[in-house]
Each structure stands twice: as structure tokens, then as C-alpha cells.
Amino acid sequence: MLSFNRGAIYSTNGHRVVFDPERKIKHGLAIISHAHSDHARKHSVTSIMTPETQAISGLDAVTVPYGKHSVEGIELEFTDAGHVLGSAQTRIDDVVYTGDFRMADSPLFKGAQPMECDDLIIETTFGRPEYVFPDPAEVGAELGEWVKKNSDAGRIVVVGGYALGKSQELTRALNDSGIVPVVHHKIHAINDIYSEHGKNLGEYVHSDSEEGREMMRDAFVVQMPQHAVREDFLHTLSVQNHRPVVACTATGWAGTFFTRGVQRTFPLSDHADYNQLMEYVEQAQPKRVHTMHGFAAEFARQLQRKGWDAMPIKGREKTLHHFL
């Protein structure tokens, strides 16, 4: 039985499984799809995740690799979601929870493969038709070319992206363009975990290391978490180094949101775009589709027009008391 309360809850054979709980839970099992902080939280119950997700999040958990497993009486299957290192889709019985996923291949990951099911719980961050993304490798090459052109002109170049996921793809893109970036300490720590798990990012230098400080005496390229790429920071960086500074960011929201002081925004996303969402549903052939996150209601309406039994999760939640 499926139910919803700040997320999706599946009850089977006396067991209660909560997918990416949005609040701390005290009963059942928690499935953690990946290590982004809006999905990976500490709970009072057993959490199940991949070893890579545990390495990044640092949470106590039962870890299982991709494949079929039995954990505390639950038969489950993890498959690669193509989102970030360790991200997993989950199948239990005839229910599939995608978590955040991407179907397009990238230089670091193969795209997610749709899983056939009766009930599909699908994340729909970019569930509107205007969100269609170019090939990630092509975007990375374009970004690398822009960064190199500015760096060769003697400018400091700041490259912004989420510390987990986006920044590792950017490190790889910069290396593919012949650039060794200085990286913020948060990005450096996650880069190291990617490298330890076999992902070839190329070279990168810790911003607080002796080598990093030496590199920053000249024109340099630095990777920063996206939230840190602000106009006041960029101005201070220019004044302190007596050099012009340019900045770019990489996000699926390119063309939707703008940051003052940023010259370019590149449409690089580690989520499925609208076309990929549609393709997933068509290949999975579910009897029912439950949409969540982002444009969930809009995507459900698009599916309904195509004849699918689809409903957004938001608005179907029962009260907290129902599940305690």
C-alpha cells in the first residue's frame, strides 16, 4: 500500500518503508536515494543507501551496492540513477521510486535506465516542456572553452556549481579543456571521494594548500559552491588580486534565474529534463504515476492528456497523526 506524508511511504508484509523522508522518522525503514542534504537526513530507524552515498553523507546506514538485496525482511533493488555518485533508484515489489535521476549520459555517469513497475514515484523537478537540456558533454566543452578564453586573457575566472554533483562534472570539463582548477575545500573533499570511487575528474588543487595559494598569485580558475558566487565576493576578489574577475555558473535553471555579477550561465543539469521524464514513463509502462518535486502538478497534467493515470503527490498527504 502506498501513502504520502512529506514523501512516499510504502507498506508491505508488515514493513513500512519511507523513501527520502522529509522529516526524522521513528518507525520503519528509510531509503536514502543520494547524498544531497534535502534527501539524506539522520533518522532514528535503519537507513538504507549505497556505499557511495554513505561515504559522502557520513550518515550511519546499512549500505548495499547496486543490485537486488534483502534488508530486514525487505526485498529491494537499487539501480544507478545517473544523478550524482551513488544515487539510486529503488524497486520494492511493483513500486519504483526514482529519486533524483538523469537519463542522459554524462562524462562521469551512464544515464538511468527505466524500471518497469505498476506504481512509479517519479521526481519531476523540470516537469515542464520548456525545460529541455543540451547534451552534458557539449555544455561542458562550451563552458571549458569560455573559461579558457578568459583565463588566457589574464582574468580570474570563478566557476560556480553545487558542491556535490555539479562541481565534479565541472572539474572534469575544465580538465578536458586543459585547465587545472583551484577548488573550494567543500568541493575538494567530495572530489576526493569521487576519485576514490573510480571517477576520473583529472587534476584539482585545494584552495588552502601551498600549491593553491601559489596558483592564486597569478590569473587562476577557481571552483566555488554556487551560493558563494555573489557580486560582493567577486568585487572583493578583484580588488585583492588587482585583476579583472569574471564568473559563470552551471545550472538547469539557466535562463530562469540570474545572479548579479555573473557573466554566463550554462544549462548543465544532473536532473532529467522534460523529454527524459516522458521517455522514462513511456518505457516503464506503469499503471499509476505519482509525481513529486518541482513541477509535479504540471507534469501530471501532461501525462493525463496522454492517457496516463497520473497524480501529483502534493495535496494527497494525510495528516502526520495518521502515520505516527
Instruction: Output the pLDDT for position 283.
Output: 98
What is the SS3 assignment for 298?
A: helix
- Coil, strand or helix at 121: strand
Cα dihedral across residues 225, 105, 99, 130: positive or negative: positive
What does the pLDDT profile of the chain (324 residues) look like in tens digits? 788 876 788 998 888 999 999 888 888 899 999 999 999 999 989 999 999 999 999 999 999 999 999 999 999 999 999 999 999 999 999 999 999 999 999 999 999 999 999 999 999 999 999 999 999 999 999 999 999 999 999 999 999 999 999 999 999 999 999 999 999 999 999 999 999 999 999 999 999 999 999 999 999 999 999 999 999 999 999 999 999 999 999 999 987 777 788 999 999 999 999 999 999 999 999 999 999 999 999 999 999 999 999 999 875 443 323 322
Continuous H helices in 128-284: 136-152, 166-176, 185-196, 210-215, 231-241, 274-284
Map residue 249 onto helix, strand or coil: strand
Q: What pTM, to 2 d.p., does this model score?
A: 0.93
CATH 3.40.50.12650 is right for the domain spanning 136-266: yes
DSSP character at residue 114: P
**Closest alpha carbon to 315 in 1, 95, 10, 4:** 4
Query: Domains of the chain: which residue ranges?
Result: 2-131+271-323, 136-266
CA distance linking residue 291 with residue 83, whole number of Å: 18
Q: Helix, strand or coil for residue 55?
A: helix
CB 159 within 8 A of CB 174: yes
CATH architecture of 2-131+271-323: 4-Layer Sandwich (3.60)
C-alpha cell at 155: 582574468
99, 34 Cβ separation under 8 angstroms: yes
Q: Which helix (H) or strand (E) holds 8?
A: strand 8-12
| Distance (Å, whole) CA 8 – CA 2 | 7
